Amino acid sequence: MVKQNKAGTEAGETKIPQTGASPGTGEETTATTETNSAASGAPYAPKNGAIIKTNFGDIEVVFFGADAPKTVENFQKLAESGFYANTKFHRVIKNFMIQGGDPFSKDNTQMARWGTGGPGYTFEDEINAQKVVRGALAMANAGPNTNGSQFFIVTVQATPWLDGLHTVFGQVTRGMDVVDKISMTDTVTNDIPKSPVIIESIILK
């Protein structure tokens, strides 16, 4: 599960997002800026990156294929199959993260189940040296070794309470303004955006 830290709110107030879960908040952090480096000294996955096309704009990411090869392969296979097309960023928390990848989010009649869906299997964590920092692309989970299809992108500078709990498998390289715009959208119950944020397609490159 991922703990959410609410920047600028009372210390100690936490949420636990999961797949059946999402990223959660933890304790407040300092304003230091951290960035994951795409250059880890090892080759990337077969496809180095992707464009996540949304109705808010495009988000470009690079994959950490050397650090999380199984996770990157899983994401790429799901993207190539069209699994993510017309899913939504179903959980959005200002000053924290945006989360998507749940197939139930394609269907508004299944809203009560949003955040619980997946590809029908789970796989193990690939915890690595990459940090859960601003722009990080990481797997949402419901605990250790419960990865599936749901992922999140971080909007705050650093989330040290999440390091070691979520597999970081990529980093935003362009379109962070789009991520920020999505993160600031108004939400209703369960952090669901009032206006749908749709993943139209994911194009590997």
- Give catalytic residue positions: 91, 96, 99, 141, 152, 162, 166
- The two tokens of residue 121 are 């299997």
d(CA 202, CA 51) in angstroms, rounded, equals 6
Residues linked to residue 3 through DSSP beta bridges, in sequence order = 24
How far is it, in rounded angstroms, from Cα 78 to Cα 151? 12
The single-letter DSSP state of residue 180 is H
Q: Which two tokens stand for residue 66?
A: 């050397």
81: CB partners within 8 A, 6+ apart: none
Helix segments in the chain, DSSP class H: 69-81, 176-183
d(CA 72, CA 116): 21
